[in-house]
Chain A
Amino acid sequence: MSVTLQVTSEVLDVRRAGSYFVISLTAPGIAEVAKPGQFITIAMGGEESSMMLRRSFAIHQVQSRGVYGGTLDIVVSVHGKGTKWLSERRRHDTLAVVGPLGTPFSLPKSPVSCVIVGGGYGSAPLFVLAEQLRDRGCRVDAVLGASTEEKLFGVLELKRLATAITVTTDDGSTGIKGNVADVLPELIDRVNADVVYACGPMGMLAAVAEISTRKRVFSQCSVEEAMACGIGVCMTCVLPVIGDDGITRMVRSCTDGPTFRGDRVRWADVGTVPEDTYGAPVSGVRS
């Protein structure tokens, strides 16, 4: 992996977007080299904070040049003490940032047909991806899904970037009533998709991967696993993934991921250690 930096960032802007907050921050040296699908980690609550674990955020937008040098945007969904603290930051506050981290999406060499699928604010890393796919002459069709309208993220923005966009909500408050899995099969067929890129909750990724594999379409899924360190040392963010040699291993979402081939993750077994995993306990003797 390329250079990873630890920097003090300055908050430039915090704004609401539906249920979420979009935070712009300076990230000199990070914004310039970040690739689509990579993430940053941010320490919560300042130097004396009782929150010891960093939170990870997909890099949403990047601007490599400007008044502030390299800047980037993240999307924050408040669901705990840390993210609440982060959403309360204001312009000129500083943040301890590490990045860019993780394995990015891999991009096609030729102008193929791509479908990008985002669940909730999982769409955050897909914007830069869509841009780069368009730059390569790819057709980009987008599907954004969420439980309800205000939990969708970036519909208007993505409308500009994608060739076409489909929106689903579980409650039918906007777009098609249902979820992304309901519309994906037909879309893959209609646009003759070669690649599906997805980011969102585990259940959605499992469905997207299953549909893609069934339709013999290559899929890349970016997982949202809880991480303690984000840099590959703590071994908390593991999930069972099949390697090139056909062997399942517990691999790290932070460094081996967060982007995985959809057909390699054992989605149904996430949260467990399958019996045939490399180094798995023998008949439950070990833990």
Chain B
Amino acid sequence: MDSQHESAPATRPPDSSRSETTLRVNGKPHTLTVDHRRVLLDLLREDLGLAGAKKGCDHGQCGACTVLVDGRRVNSCLLFAVALDGCEITTVEGLAGDGEELHPVQRAFLDRDAFQCGYCTPGQICSAVGALAEAAAGHPSHVTDPATPSGEPVALSREEIRERLSGNLCRCGAYPHIADAVEDVIP
């Protein structure tokens, strides 16, 4: 499927500046012919109509574009889509699955009023999901006590949560409530 705008030819042959790429986004495969310059963020927003990931800086300096690629949180503004051929992408729209039920992190953000303008929120939520998985997998952070045994899950104190989510700026200043929300869903 090529979901480029109708103004562009529907099936443009790959040339030296475009290639065919297949991504699985929120469980569904998409095959597109992409301009090599197209980053994942713009592909999601412009080609797939998934505008949940936000463009706050376009340079990896704010975290609003955070999505999960093969389960890991990354800045989608810095990833060329062509380089992600075959990857599994999860965006904020795909966290909860198909039902009405929210993902626990989404639910906690609502319960804690962990946002105001909402623009950083999808990135914060995806980042929190990724950070929880990282801590469970034993990834340390800058504030983890060096004496913590390697390879074991890291307990998430408030300080750990704050440090691990520091790649997601929030200008409205919802940080304390975001930390509350993440604390709520620590397994």
Partners in one complex: no
Interface residues of B (CB under 8 A from A): none
